Amino acid sequence: MLASVRSIVRAIGTTVVPEATRLDDAEWSAIEETVAGALAARPAALQRQFLLFLRLVEWLPTLRYGRRFTRLDPPRRMRFLTSLQDAPLLLVRRGAWGLRTLLLMGYYGRPAAAREIGYRADPRGWDARRVDP
């Protein structure tokens, strides 16, 4: 589902989570699978809107910076995404926050990221913390 917008997703992802610049293709594939899985549970119309929003994120910066999003430097990318999340139009703000949420879920949902930040959630709850070191 995300193959046609992979470069856009990765550019946004590295802007939202700068640590993502260290990821290899396999780790990015895992993020994309998580995002695609979350979107697969949504109506087809919402999936189309998501893809359209990604394409708008790619091309709208040409109006301000004369370059597509994927061609911007990191500070300009961040400024542009901040302008979207603070936009006067509710639909644009929702799109920006939804996109950000999906990418954070994809990044921090990886077992490697959980280990990096020391996240040790367990279905057994606090009992697991008493047993495991």
DSSP label at 75? H
Domain hosting 12: range is: 3-131
Helices within the chain (DSSP H only): 6-16, 25-40, 44-59, 61-65, 74-85, 90-108, 111-117, 126-131
84-107 pLDDT, tens digit each: 999 999 999 999 999 999 999 999
Distance between CA atoms of 33 and 129, rounded to whole angstroms? 30
33-55 pLDDT, tens digit each: 999 999 999 999 999 999 999 99
How many separate domains does the chain show?
A: 1
Give the number of other CB atoms < 10 A from CB of residue 58.
Answer: 18
pTM: 0.85
